[in-house]
Amino acid sequence: MAMDFDSGLKGLIILSAGGTGGHLFPAQALAEELVRRGYVIHLLTDHRVEEYGNRFPAQQVHIVHSATLTPGKPLKLPGQLLKLLSGVREARSIIGLLHPLAVVGFGGYPSFPPLIAAMSRRVDTFIHEQNAVVGRANKVLAHGVTSIASSFPKIEGLPARAQGKVRFVGNPVRDAVLSASFKPYSAPDANRPFRLLVFGGSQGARVFSEIVPAALLALPQSVRKLLSVTQQVRPEDLDEVHEAYHGSGIDVELAPFFYDMPERVSGSHLIIARSGASTIAELAVIGRPAILVPLPHALDNDQLLNARAFTMAGGGWLMEQTEFTPERLGSLVTKLRYSERELQIAADSAKGFGRPDAAKRLADLIEEVAVDRVFKTDDDEDLIEHEDER
């Protein structure tokens, strides 16, 4: 049956992502681009979206059951599988009602049920892999999806049979990041404030709360008095970190979450951060140098591989958590604070690593594969109806 495109909208596309910033931010970036092109967006995710998805441009958000599979804990597997199966049934019902042109997943097990449901209904499916190594959910889904988009030129761990489906597009960044990217980097003068931004993902990082204040407090007074520090801190660590900085002479702003993070990144001279895929993408598009401390227990070392790609391109400095001590961090911050040329080169290299057009490239892929196919099918049906009339 031919679809009606006369309403001014081109159709509906479902996006599916785990409810954390690392998965939702690139999905939001794609949603913003698709809305500009005239599509209606629905989001399928889990309950965590309430914290991070309040600005997602979806006509409707659907919460579906999901669970992370833990093969190492076999007693929990039956319950986890039942939740996933329940999520597949829920997603299949939603897809049956909405008749989407495509379903696009951004990783995490909450994206698993919608994509399985879409495959069962013969809807074109896409996955976007944000990291340099394929995630567990995407690895399983790779065999059955229509197409795979990647943030890096090469994805480690992808099944051989799925290699031919890959299109390198980059990691989509939100409109707020693109806006912040227009501010040029200005390396710090030795006699002016040095703006340092510290964050560890959407919930901060305990190790940053311990190491960063200790490193900065040990710096000479001549360095501290011109330091301006913005640090994301977990709510439970906020009082402790505030007390640590008290009386240090350092200009400090602390908060559990900053909703204007892209603007804060663009206004910084140096960033200390984890190396999740969205963090890397946003640092690169905005073009800011960073000291990256990968999460040591991340599955498949994805954060380490992300950080290596960024730092090998010249965008910053890799410091694994075992090396992340107050002494080493303080030494590096002091060195960089007075190395205008080194910081400027790193900022330029980070910018060169960025893919500001990633959302457009991913939207192009979806239109090329799924939407064009729908139009072609509609044209074929119209031709058949015309031939029948004759």
11-172+356-389 and 178-353: identical CATH topology? yes
21, 94, 115, 163, 205 from 24: Cα distances, Å: 5, 20, 16, 25, 19
The structure tokens listed for 46 are: 């889990």
Spatial CA neighbour of 169 closest among 359, 376, 387: 359
Q: How far is CA 368 from the centre of its chain?
A: 23
The structure tokens listed for 45 are: 């995710």
The structure tokens listed for 233 are: 């801190």
95, 104, 122, 147 from 91: Cα distances, Å: 6, 13, 13, 20
CATH number of the 178-353 domain: 3.40.50.2000
DSSP letters, 72-101, are T-TTTHHHHHHHHHHHHHHHHHHHHHH--S
- pLDDT by residue for the chain (390 residues), tens only, comes to 333 433 447 899 999 998 677 889 999 999 999 999 999 999 999 887 766 556 789 999 999 998 777 777 888 878 888 988 999 999 999 999 999 999 999 988 889 999 999 999 999 999 999 999 998 889 999 999 999 999 998 899 999 999 999 999 999 999 999 999 999 999 999 899 999 999 987 556 899 999 999 999 999 998 999 999 999 999 999 999 999 999 999 999 999 989 899 999 999 999 999 999 999 999 999 999 999 999 997 667 899 999 999 999 999 999 999 999 999 999 999 999 999 999 999 999 999 999 999 999 999 999 999 877 665 555 455 544 545 555
Cα–Cα distance for residue pair 267/270, rounded to 1 Å: 9
Q: What is the structure's pLDDT at 364? A: 97
Q: Where are the beta strands (DSSP E) in the chain?
A: 11-16, 39-45, 60-63, 102-105, 124-129, 147-150, 166-168, 194-199, 227-232, 251-255, 270-273, 290-292, 316-318
Cα–Cα distance for residue pair 148/131, rounded to 1 Å: 13
What residue spans of 102-172 are helical by DSSP H?
112-120, 136-141
The structure tokens listed for 130 are: 């944000």
Domain boundaries, the chain: 11-172+356-389, 178-353
Residue 177: enclosing H or E segment and its boundaries?
Answer: helix 175-180
Q: How far is CA 82 from the centre of its chain?
A: 28
DSSP letters, 283-352, are HHHHT--EEE---TT-GGGHHHHHHHHHHHTTSEEE--GGG--HHHHHHHHHHHHT-HHHHHHHHHHHHH
CATH number of the 11-172+356-389 domain: 3.40.50.2000
Q: What is the structure's pLDDT at 8? A: 45
Cα–Cα distance for residue pair 52/61, rounded to 1 Å: 12
Q: What is the structure's pLDDT at 204? A: 67
Helices H / strands E in the chain, number of each: 16, 13
Q: Provide the edge-to-edge strand list for the sheet that holds 316-318.
A: 251-255, 227-232, 194-199, 270-273, 290-292, 316-318
Place of tokens 């790193």: 346
Residues 6+ positions from 200 with CB-CB distance below 8 Å: 207, 208, 232, 273, 274, 293
Spatial CA neighbour of 49 closest among 19, 25, 26, 27: 19
Burial class from Cβ neighbours inside 10 Å (0-12, 13-18, 19+) for residue 128 reads buried
Residue 174: phi, psi to the nearest 5? -65, 160
Q: What is the structure's pLDDT at 384? A: 43
Q: What is the structure's pLDDT at 373? A: 67
136, 177, 273 from 149: Cα distances, Å: 16, 20, 25
* pTM, 2 dp: 0.87
147, 185, 255, 330 from 110: Cα distances, Å: 19, 38, 28, 40
Q: What is the structure's pLDDT at 50? A: 64
Coil vs helix vs strand at 276:
coil
76, 246, 252, 289 from 337: Cα distances, Å: 50, 22, 17, 12
